[in-house]
């Protein structure tokens, strides 16, 4: 119903519809500024294949973006996971295979090898995962493995009636936190209906400084071409890896999914 609180305003619906059509027709709505040339940004997520009643089998999804915001969608191998109370993790072989698949597809589509690779996950990197990713990235000049997850465990309280500014960074006990939502001075508004929570950032290993990692995450939160929002909580690498998983559930395992990002908007 139009009066429902869950229905977007007509302006938002129009924005999402025509921006999506523009991109599907070959246009680029906007491009990020400040991302390193030759970098491949990868988001890894998991989903349950359709018809999985027991929940033992999950599939990995990799969402890869270049510094211009062009995206690729890839589906990894099925694997067994018998710990339903824990976030899924890949073993060394499957972690290596997944990233090698990303690198091959990136080179096939972009006609060049990436100079740098940044991998985002919403969970910590287990030792075997890190070892597999490292082996796959041995020929890449630079790489970074970054765990990014929302948290309600730590929050800042700002004097006044507005929440912390978007882009606020702080650390507690060596752990880094970043507000990707919050008050936006340029808009003179806080365009969200809830108290903002920061992202907890863990730079597991890599070649870049934490400042570079945080700046890139902030930029990637503004790369959602399928939304009228100023920015998202999560970077596009992870946000769309999760969303695409919902679509991947409907694609049979015998059919190779199309890699172009435009088919998933």
Asked if residue 151 belongs to a domain, the reply is yes
What pLDDT does residue 174 have? 84
- Nearest by Cα to 71 from 242, 255, 217, 241: 241
Asked if residue 31 belongs to a domain, the reply is no
β-strands 116-121, 39-47 pairing: parallel
Distance in angstroms (rounded) separating the CA atoms of residues 84 and 97: 23
Distance in angstroms (rounded) separating the CA atoms of residues 86 and 91: 14
Sheet holding 199-206, edge to edge: 71-80, 57-65, 39-47, 116-121, 142-150, 199-206, 175-178, 169-172
Q: List, run by run, the mean pLDDT of 10-residue segments along the chain (265 residues).
A: 64 83 83 88 86 64 80 81 81 93 88 93 93 96 96 84 88 92 84 83 95 95 79 88 79 77 74
- Nearest by Cα to 164 from 180, 183, 188: 183
Asked if residue 141 belongs to a domain, the reply is yes
Asked if residue 13 belongs to a domain, the reply is no
Find out whether 176 and 169 touch, Cβ atoms under 8 Å. Answer: yes
What pLDDT does residue 3 have? 56
CATH number for the domain harbouring residue 46: 3.30.420.10
Task: Tell me the residue range of the domain where 132 lies.
Answer: 39-264
Tokens of 197: 């929570």
| Alpha helix ranges (H) inside 5-91 | 10-24
Tokens of 7: 């229905």
- Nearest by Cα to 129 from 90, 171, 155: 90
Distance in angstroms (rounded) separating the CA atoms of residues 215 and 221: 10
Which residue is listed with tokens 């082996």? 135
Does residue 174 come out as left (phi exceeding 0), alpha (psi in the -120 to 50 range) or beta?
Answer: left
Does residue 173 come out as left (phi exceeding 0), alpha (psi in the -120 to 50 range) or beta?
Answer: left
Distance in angstroms (rounded) separating the CA atoms of residues 183 and 103: 38
Asked if residue 27 belongs to a domain, the reply is no
Asked if residue 4 belongs to a domain, the reply is no
Distance in angstroms (rounded) separating the CA atoms of residues 216 and 37: 12
DSSP states of 107-121 = HHHHSS--SEEEEEE
What pLDDT does residue 4 have? 57
Helix (H) or strand (E) holding 192: none
Residue 218: HSE in the Cβ half-sphere, 13 Å Cα cutoff:
21
What pLDDT does residue 1 have? 46
C-alpha 201, offset from chain centre: 13
Q: For the chain, what is the domain count?
A: 1
What pLDDT does residue 11 have? 82
Tokens of 45: 């997520």
Asked if residue 183 belongs to a domain, the reply is yes
Asked if residue 34 belongs to a domain, the reply is no
Buried b (16+ CB within 10 A) or exposed e, 216-251: bbbbbbbbbbbbebbbbbbbbbbbbbbbbbeebeee
Tokens of 109: 């589509």
């Amino acid at each position: 119903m139009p009066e429902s609180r869950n229905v977007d305003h007509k302006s938002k619906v129009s924005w999402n519809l025509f921006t999506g059509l523009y991109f599907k027709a070959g246009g680029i709505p906007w491009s990020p500024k400040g991302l390193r040339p030759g970098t491949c940004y990868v988001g890894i997520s998991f989903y349950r294949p359709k018809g999985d009643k027991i929940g033992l089998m999950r599939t990995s999804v990799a969402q890869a973006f270049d510094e211009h915001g062009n995206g690729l969608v890839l589906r990894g191998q099925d694997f067994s996971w018998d710990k339903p109370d824990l976030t899924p993790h890949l073993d060394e072989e499957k972690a290596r295979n997944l990233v090698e698949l990303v690198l091959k597809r990136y080179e096939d589509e972009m006609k060049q090898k990436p100079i740098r690779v940044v991998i985002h996950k919403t969970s910590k990197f287990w030792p075997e995962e890190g070892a597999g990713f490292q082996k796959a990235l041995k020929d890449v000049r630079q790489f970074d493995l970054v765990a990014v997850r929302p948290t309600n465990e730590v929050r800042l309280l700002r004097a006044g009636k507005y929440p912390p500014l978007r882009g606020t960074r702080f650390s507690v006990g060596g752990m880094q936190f970043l507000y990707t939502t919050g008050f936006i001075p340029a808009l003179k508004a806080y365009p969200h209906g809830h108290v903002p929570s920061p992202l907890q950032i863990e730079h597991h290993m890599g070649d870049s400084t934490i400042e570079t990692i945080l700046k890139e995450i902030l930029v990637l939160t503004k790369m959602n071409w399928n939304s009228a929002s100023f920015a998202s909580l999560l970077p596009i690498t992870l946000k769309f890896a999760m969303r695409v998983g919902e679509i991947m559930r409907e694609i049979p395992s015998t059919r190779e999914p199309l890699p172009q990002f435009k088919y998933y908007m």
